[in-house]
Amino acid sequence: MKRTVMSVAIAAILMTASGCVEQRQMGEAEQTDEVRDVSSQSVVMQPVVLPAVAPTEQQASQPASMNSVREERDQASAVSADMKTAIKAVPATLNATRQKSYAAESHIVGSLQPSLLPGYNMVDRENYAHYDDGGVFKVVDEPVSTFSIDVDSGSYANVRRLLNEGRLPPMDAVRAEELINYFDYQYPLADEDGEHSQQPFTVTTEVGPSPWNQQTRLLHIGIRGVDVAASETPPANLVFLVDVSGSMQSPDKIELLKSALKLLVAELNANDRISLVVYAGASGVVLEPVAGNMQAKIMNAIDSLAAGGSTNGGEGIRLAYRMARQAFIEGGINRILLATDGDFNVGTVNFDQLIDLVERERKSGVSLTTLGFGGGNYNDHLMEQLADAGNGNHAYIDTLNEARKVLVEQRQSTLNTIASDVKIQIEFNPDVVSEYRLIGYENRQLEREDFNNDSVDAGEIGAGHTVTALYEVSFVDDAGQRIDPLRYGRPASSRSGAGNDNVLANKDELAFLKIRYKTPGENRSELISKAIPVDMVTEDIAATTDRYRFSAAVAGFAQLLRGGRYLEGYTFTDVLELARDARGDDRFGYRGEFVSMVALAGSLDRVAQRSVSVQ
């Protein structure tokens, strides 16, 4: 009888949450109808804005999505002590099963998420692309690995937001390469031979022990884009494309967005051009292109933005590209900055159609950067893929300090592309390396033949940007190999040079690295190549550089958050110890913040494990 009563109580609380969501959705639908009545076409609005719903005093002090949460909590207060005990068991159960809900192409968390923050359990519709961890490959079978570079950092900031909310992130929210590439590893401006590169970037390599497996090594590949002096920076034609739909009506969305854009505006000058386009149920021009030194006019236009209505993102993107072409600067930076939670719900909403739209528009020479905001309905899958299709980059803005990092400190990297369609290909020597796996970059894999095909799109590098890739490798004589040899397979040495005069049979080289890139505006790629010698291997991890150890710590952290399939019992505590000793020159405190994130994740993981064990 008691179990039945508790089951009824749980159902009642969940029904209450569902009812609150339905009421909120009905309110948004009414706003949508109002906007559609005004116009279904693009309109020009001077100086502002689309219809908005004025927030109440209570809404102004907290996210709109919190109202329903408080109603749920108030109704729950009347439940008996026994029923409350049953209700408290719900988050733990959900925590145990939080990684198991996947759609065919994307992971949509569709339940009440466990959180340590009081009153923060909300209906969560966040959308993440599902992918499996990259596997281990035998060098004798597949000696070549090819992938596109990735300079996005959105996954790191989003993971930080989720941890600060008191919950471990869904596995698919964690893209290892974006966590690793969040940090500047201060690669040298000169090549390893001491010569300053005539290319748009330098390449650094290092090989040392793996911190999570004594039988394997890590091959660390680092790329650093050349710095461009402020006096040599081309003028920028920037279009701010801002989502002002009802879903953006909370302090961590529209208000944070406005403050973030102001930070960037303060860095611009008379040579730059700024325009502002907004979209909700319809799209419109708030600010025609003006010189970047017209600060007051631009700031006033940003201040006037308010949220309300549905989200026709497709129409907004089309209008933004038209504005960018109108103010196009030959030889300059022409870029759209799309600021949204990615929750498109009217107009063009099909994922593939939106990607196709951006791929067509990028041919005009205008790039697209996406800036993600907020939670609860955040569409990470769409935001990341739109940036990829638009020859841009993706960042997630969870704090004003993150906005300063992306739009002020790293403004050149974010806006000024110095190399496009950058691809990496590495061939491992089967006489030395038995197995390898690339950590991260799962959605950046290319076919071997794509490397030399200049029509295949790849990632871009901005001025001063750093890109890091880590391979875990097993040597031929190591005991750490994960794949058994074939009973009837030939030894690696018998394959070297067989029937191919171009094959070099020797044990002096670990691998051969090749990088292709295009100078912006060019159609033909250029090639950089270098051998990675075996004598580069460092046997003691303490003798490796700070950047090697810190990047390894971040890689270990990312893999732990994704389940730690290859980590051989490596723990958050191990990551913490490695990262603490490798912080090096931490000018802005980002590495110190990472150490705090690891400690928090370790605590949340222990809470989750104990909650499950109680069931």
Residue 12 CB-density burial (10 A; 0-12 exposed, 13-18 middle, 19+ buried): middle
| 201-209 sheet: strands from edge to edge | 137-138, 433-438, 466-475, 217-225, 201-209
Q: Which residues does 390 contact at the CB level (< 8 Å), separation at least 6? A: 336, 358, 359, 361, 362, 367, 368, 369, 370
| Residue 470, both tokens | 């880590």
- On whether residue 571 sits in a domain, the answer given is no
pLDDT computed for residue 108 by the predictor: 36
Question: What percent of the chain clears pLDDT 70, i.e. is strictly above it?
Answer: 73
- Tell me whether residue 409 is in a domain: yes
Partner residues linked to 512 by β-bridges: 427, 531
Q: How far is CA 416 from the centre of its chain?
A: 19
| DSSP sequence for 428-492 | E-TTTEEEEEESS-GGGB--GGGGG-TTS--EEEETT-EEEEEEEEEETT-S---SPPPTTPPPH
pLDDT of residue 221: 98
Average pLDDT for runs of 10 along the chain of length 615? 44 44 43 36 38 41 40 40 36 35 34 44 77 95 96 96 96 98 91 66 96 96 92 94 91 95 96 94 87 96 85 81 95 95 65 87 93 93 93 96 96 93 97 97 97 95 95 90 81 50 72 96 93 95 97 98 95 98 93 98 94 69
Same domain as 424, residue 413: no
Q: How far is CA 384 from the centre of its chain?
A: 6
Q: According to the model, what pLDDT value does residue 90 have?
A: 32
Whether 402 and 298 share a structural domain: yes
* Pairing label, strands 137-138, 433-438: antiparallel
- The answer on 508 and 411 residing in a single domain is no
The pLDDT, as a whole number, for residue 459 is: 94
Domain-located, residue 465: yes
3-state secondary structure of 52: coil
Rounded Cα gap, residues 555 and 598, in angstroms: 12
What CATH number is attached to the domain comprising 358? Answer: 3.40.50.410
Write out the two tokens for 305.
Answer: 């933005």
Whole-number Å distance between alpha carbons of 526 and 291: 36
Mark whether 334 and 368 lie in a shared domain.
yes
Last residue of a domain, one of 541, 564, 583: 541
Domain that holds residue 507: 137-228+418-541
- Of 131, 154, 182, the last residue of a domain is 131
List the one residue out of 407, 419, 370 whose CA is nearest residue 392.
370
Which of 94, 110, 131 lies at the terminal end of a domain, its last residue?
A: 131
Asked if residue 381 and residue 497 are part of one domain, the reply reads no
CB of 357 closer than 8 Å to CB of 312: no
What's the pLDDT at 486? Answer: 83
612 part of a folded domain: no
Q: What are phi and psi of 212, to 5 degrees?
A: -105, -5
Same-domain status, 316 and 437: no
pTM greater than the 0.85 cutoff: no
Which tokens in the block code for residue 306?
């308010």
- The domain tally of the chain equals 3
| pLDDT, tens only, 17-46 | 444 444 444 444 444 433 333 333 333 333
